[in-house]
Chains A and B, each alone.
Chain A
Amino acid sequence: MADGNDGQRFDRLPATPAERTVEGRVSREEVVDYFDDRFGVPPETFDDYTFWEKGAGKIWIYGGEAPTPLEIEAIGMTCLRTRQEHWKPTTDFVQRFGGHATECVIDLDRERARRFAAGEDQELERWDGDWGYLIAAHEVGVGPEGRPVRDGEAVERGESEAIGVGLYVHGELRSMVPKGRQRDLES
């Protein structure tokens, strides 16, 4: 299956598009550039990680050792969906690495954060950034003195923590938190 993607196994991404042997497969360079261009995550963040594809367009990030190809259940975590018009990071990936992001991060107050975690879509007019997929974040674990106010549209970025992936279109912030990860939390 040198010319196609095998959904049964993990294949390490080629370093660059020039080294591609499987049609449609993205390269490590393209993945790292995407996180840098879209979210401002510095490329060196991923120096100790490898990227893999299993299933068409499902990209995984892994910090351990493994040969390619590899037929096992999972390595590291799923991080990105490619092979669609707009690439989409996973909720778990942005929770893990979203702290490195400097762009396309929208900070929510506590009530909005609660609704986002519950999977609700919400009207949100005041976002000045790009449309498309972004990282929704909120302040958590800052201690009593640095605690954000409980109302208002957004908070100053302090001990901000990524909640998940949002899709911003037409004044609406849509929660992309998958069903199994949605929770009804106290605000």
Chain B
Amino acid sequence: MEPLERYRPIIDDFDAFLAACERPLGNAVRVNTIKATVERTLAALDEAGLDYEQADWNPRVIDLETDSPGSTWTAFHGFTHGQEEVSAVPPVVLDPEPGERVWDCCAAPGGKATQIAALMDDRGTVVANDNNLGRISALRFNAERLGATSLAVTNADARNYSLERFDFDEFDRALVDAPCSCEGTIRKNPDALDNWSEGHISSVAGVQKGIIRRSIQATREGGTVVYSTCTFAPEENEAIVQHALDTESCRVVDFDLDLEHSPGLTEWDGDEFDSSLENAARIYPHHNDTGGFFVAKLEVTA
């Protein structure tokens, strides 16, 4: 937990934060409304005698009382998909509509991409890209099990992504769920901090900058880009959004989130960020008994 000490000045009730990071997480699943309604899914869980609790902020997110959420009838039918509660936040903030063209540029293993497809009633085009071929097989497996027919899967580096392969030349929305140092996943993966270093953070930040810039370039004027990570490091969060503000045409916008969170930072380690970064959300493990996440919503401008 030592790497997390650097966040003592910015996190309220830091001791509660550390204590939460040491507790393991429960098993959350997301209801896949491409396959079944929430009501029917709950009835199927009742039939199986499984206990569960729906999240207050999102009835499609369920905390399931089982050690093997993948060995249930609801998982077999694709009614449910194992996905951490906070991991379901970015697609909700992206707020895609049926018929749109949406780019999930770091999509594997596909939890968020299929959630986007479900939010669009599986109508429109969701381009699910990942640069890692091995992880793409997991993405394809999940997409088929969850019945997402609106997904097109590509294998490319998001930083220089070409739209020439399609008939259209810009997206309505893009989700950048960026590769990151994963500090916020410590409750799920106790090894998450083993390879932590400031050098690692700065190298991954370089990749994040390239991806967020390309996602803004590939999105139409007036369109939406959501940037998210599962880490606390401001170098990978606010500083990346600041880089986008400095180099591309966009602005940070506010969004509603019925989940307890802290505002984004406007300064860190001597660097100042635009005041609009207060509109971003920092979700800490002790807030809602979840993993950690950062989410910012951008509008592409002229």
Where the two chains meet, the residues of A that have a C-beta atom closer than 8 Å to any C-beta of B are: 48-49, 61-67, 70-78, 90, 92, 95-96, 117, 140-144, 147, 159, 161, 163, 180-181, 183-186
Residues of B within 8 A of A141 (CB): 36, 40-44, 47, 74, 79
Closest CB-CB distance, B176 to chain A, in whole Å? 20
* Of the residues A63, A143, A163, A185, contact of B150 by C-beta under 8 Å: A63
The total of Cβ contacts below 8 Å across the A-B interface reads 116
Q: Are A76 and B149 in touch, CB under 8 angstroms?
A: yes
Q: Are B152 and A74 in touch, CB under 8 angstroms?
A: yes
A-B contacts besides A49-B149, A95-B77, 5 pairs, CB < 8 Å: A64-B126, A65-B101, A75-B152, A183-B75, A185-B73
Q: Are B73 and A140 in touch, CB under 8 angstroms?
A: yes
Q: Are B46 and A73 in touch, CB under 8 angstroms?
A: no
* Of the residues B35, B40, B42, contact of A96 by C-beta under 8 Å: B35
Residues of B within 8 A of A65 (CB): 101, 125, 166-168
Residues of A within 8 A of B48 (CB): 186
Closest CB-CB distance, A159 to chain B, in whole Å? 7
Residues of B within 8 A of A186 (CB): 48-49, 72-73
Q: Are A140 and B35 in touch, CB under 8 angstroms?
A: no
Closest CB-CB distance, B280 to chain A, in whole Å? 30
* Of the residues A71, A147, A180, contact of B141 by C-beta under 8 Å: A180
Q: Are A64 and B73 in touch, CB under 8 angstroms?
A: no
Q: List 23 A-B contacts (CB under 8 A).
A: A61-B149, A64-B124, A67-B166, A70-B165, A71-B165, A72-B154, A74-B140, A75-B153, A90-B144, A95-B77, A96-B34, A96-B35, A140-B44, A140-B47, A140-B77, A141-B36, A141-B42, A141-B47, A163-B77, A183-B71, A185-B71, A185-B73, A186-B72
What 1/0 flags go to B123-142 for Cβ under 8 Å of A?
Answer: 11110000000001000110
Closest CB-CB distance, A67 to chain B, in whole Å? 5
Closest CB-CB distance, A126 to chain B, in whole Å? 24
Cα distance A117–B43 when bound, in Å? 20
Cα distance A117–B79 when bound, in Å? 15
Cα distance A20–B166 when bound, in Å? 23
Q: Which of B76-111 contact A (CB under 8 A)?
A: 76-79, 101
B58 interface contact, C-beta 8 A = no
Q: Are A159 and B166 in touch, CB under 8 angstroms?
A: no
B299 interface contact, C-beta 8 A = no
Cα distance A183–B154 when bound, in Å? 29
Q: Are B152 and A62 in touch, CB under 8 angstroms?
A: yes
Nearest chain-B residue to A76 (Cβ)? B149
- Known A-B contacts A62-B152, A63-B122; the reply to A77 vs B143 at CB < 8 A is yes
Cα distance A57–B122 when bound, in Å? 25
Cα distance A180–B145 when bound, in Å? 11
Closest 8 CB pairs of A and B: A64-B125, A141-B44, A96-B147, A141-B40, A74-B153, A63-B149, A92-B144, A141-B43
Q: Are B150 and A72 in touch, CB under 8 angstroms?
A: no
Q: Are A67 and B167 in touch, CB under 8 angstroms?
A: yes
Select the residue from B42, B125, B155 with max chain A CB neighbours within 10 A: B125
Cα distance A140–B243 when bound, in Å? 50
